[in-house]
Structure 1
Amino acid sequence: MTNLFTISSKELLDLRRDPLLAILVGFLSFAVVISVVIGAADFKVQLDAYNLYVQQLVSAGSAVVPAAPQLFPMQLLRGGIEYIEILGALFAVVLGYGTIAKEKYRGTLDLILTRPLGRFSLVGGKLLGLAVLWLAVVAFLTVVSTMAIATVGGASLSSHDLIRIVIASAAAWIYLVFWSALSVGLTVLARQLSTGLIVGLVIWLVVVLIMPQIGDTMDPDNQVPGGLFASLQIKKADELTVMSHFASFDAVRNGIEVASIEKHFERLSFGFLGIKTQYNQQPLSFIWGDLFPYAITLAAATFASVLFAMVATTRRTLQRK
């Protein structure tokens, strides 16, 4: 146990000195703030258009005034979540690769292995260091997001809103640990270090970009901004009736989407943040009841990824030339 914490401390020290960490934190923080700024500006445009429309109605003598657009503060985090699920996962793959690659490039791996380490001390320490790093990064981004909503977004958050943000942040932490652990395992198993990185990037490309894009493209409701059925003013009951005739097609489409771990993280975080309309302003019990399977799958996938890295990392695989 002492060796595990020693290696973990060393890993955190190395990561703190790595310029990539500063780039990671700075870029993601900037992206989160910018997404809030864009979301707030977009709402202001909608509000100005609404006020102008109301003035025109009043001038025309109409007594019917449509409902004003509402700002739901946590929906301003949509862009930040999308940056984390795409670029955060990419950084996680690179950092996971770097934890093994740097030891081989520096020639320190053989020196470390001369110590009486336990079977899982080395990889466990590195994974623990990465987990602590991602916990710190996510906590920092959570604070930045909350401050951005309160200042740039001009909105106030209740205690229930903060709980929802914390839950989404926890999902982000688990998601990023998944990618780093997977990258560690792939790098260890690869005969050449570059191969481990390339395989990790290919998996990231397929899982994060290609599969979700296929699922979104196959969804007819995503082909029109705001939703095809909404733009045609089709009621929900009629929408379900129409889609019932395409049940097999929709099952295939949804299957492609949920095969991606990114979609599990997205649906979980979008649900708790109220980005998805059906979960907006709903109690936590309702959201948990509907999205609990995604939380289980995300946790199980991360556990499997960590287990894969632990089992793959042996003295033989580490010292293989």
Structure 2
Amino acid sequence: MEAHGIKQPHSRRRRHGIRNYTTSHPKSSYRCIMAPSAILELTPSAVPEAAPRHIAPNNLISLAAQGKICTAFGIKIIPGGEIVQIAKSAGYDSLFIDLEHTTLTIRDAGQLCIAANSAGITPFVRVPHECGLGFMQRVLDGGAMGIIVPHIHTVDDARRVINVSKYPPLGHRSISAGFPQFCYAALPTSTVQQEMNAHGSTVFIMIETADALAVVDDIAALPGCDVLLVGSNDLASEIGTLPDWDHPDFIDALRRVGAAAKKHGKLMGIAGLYHRPDVLTQVIHEFGAKWIVGAQDVGVLQAGGSTNSKLLRSL
């Protein structure tokens, strides 16, 4: 077009990598894509069609529904979003973000979760022992799609976790608004509650104490308990079989957890046995485990670095 004799160039938004989102992606897609100039124009009453209207994907739930396993990469020392992209490109389905045996902060966890949800690799966060119920809720509010709670001993321990993680009627989680799981979109509270309870607050009860193993069937029966996660090292230590991963008592413990999960329609997970693929094969195919935690960032870096340094010194 021309104005006062000056030729104005046509706007070619695609040249700058911006295109009409609504024509190239279904509305149900979980994406946060918009032109920078449009960010300040958004209000709850004027949300564009491109805004996400559904929660981020929960790969554990979707894969388990198909009878498939969900793999997890452990993050213990790296707080940057780069590790999320690396785990995604490596082929993992989810993340095990560890705040128990680490110096990572709740802020680090939140940023990792936001990056993971955007990348389509589902983030689950293990909280520290006796961190407080309020801390658990903050982890979920910060973007985690599920919470992993260690050192459970009793049914009441598990029930308290559910109460702070699930909205009514499953629990008593406090209601808020503006969640990264929805790209902070303005949504009806009823929608947030329903989708969070179903997909955005997966409760992992760790079975890693002899006490929890003794009442694993009762824990699995609790509404809102979604996953029974075996902490292999602590459980083996508690029942006196560490480090014999082939010990009949340890294998029987794994069998009991799998049976309880199957009986009550819950999922079984396993952590700490990535170095024993033979045992993992049994846990998956005989006991029905669906969430499999693999190596952590620190182990992968150390192993890769060790291999490379030996190669260089051999030249």
More helix by share: 1
Normalized against structure 2, the TM-score is what? Answer: 0.23
Normalized against structure 1, the TM-score is what? Answer: 0.22
More strand by share: 2
